[in-house]
Chain A
């Protein structure tokens, strides 16, 4: 294997960059369709997946994937998908999964997994096999996104127009939920279950302030994601903070800065035109 892949910092930066490149477009779609809460739910329920994985002595990742895909699949089988995604339903699934997972982790031998890593992620502990898994998932998601981008955006704007004009809304929506499940399973490794939604929502919100088009918003989200990653890893090293939370805080810092700058600019232009 290539030498620099043996450097843990390089591996984690690479993992972070891949994560950002996929979190940007997926995060935008989820924000547009108000699905951020779904990623939270899947993230929390994924703890159950980790527990099951450890119980069956397989890679926890498989446990997580199984659980999140099962949840998305059962939600999609309910006659009206959107009604099924009510806050109450999601909250019940979310916390039942989390509680079940916590109990399983408590019962299992304590040295098998660090609860802290599950909750907050551990970017700096990215192994070779993690890296490979993130790479494969990112590639799958990117290919699907490129192929389905127009329908995904169209149904975010208007399900009615999309369906009438030949897009199979139900199929596209199902595919998107499956992709969210896959995304959550990967992001969990890096960001931890509590912070997944943050990576999907905060850089996208900053990007919204600067963009004129859906595609632009994705590019700006990726840029803000990279900045947050850099800021997070740096401060994590500098102050010995946990990496996941540091990335989130740095994303919020960039959001506040962007907010202040765009507000100031709009004040100036208004003053000039008024």
Chain B
């Protein structure tokens, strides 16, 4: 089965499973969105009226089908609490989160892969040990703590970076970059640390292979051995870890956006969960599922570029 065909088949199944699960969980969770929306002085009649307006008085399956049939026509429904279409709401919050995630990925890849590879130059050496300690710390430290530490050092003590907020790219690259660096670094620390460890392990394993030893014996320069031979062998596990981490980055934005006061999808998710805003939660979840699918697809496709033998194995 080709990667594309697999994606085409699994996408709708995954979408249904994920959205139905979330819908069921929200329905089972304590609380009633109609109560919140009706306000603190609402009577029982007011709450019943709001419940009927939102269609919450219908059966669970009818509510889900109503939402799903809307999705088929591109209508993700209206946010309960914000009185605006969910698609519009998500679009308005997409840029900060996308910026944050993309910059964090770049930082994680550059730092993680770079440090991981450098650590293998002299295994057991000082630099290798420093990378080991730093990456262990990076994995162990909670993201919110790293974020607060960065704010304390760079925004409050050195005063070189803003502490909170987000400036859209349309208002200039410099202010955008200034506002995105600290949260992106905080978000990148954990994936970078994990990538560094995986890269180190994979590269060392590749370096032990017979053909690498042969290449060294032949006197091929180290940089050429790394780029031509090691990268091909070590690349697949690294890209696999990266794919998993990218999918998890979206979860991390929930915490980081709160710490840095960024109004993105993470804070939207928190507000929506607390406010029982089911259409918005489903919209965000559908988007997250789509991101995971796309990332998985890209990871699968990248295997063929890293090591063409993979494609041959699949084809065979």
Bound together: no
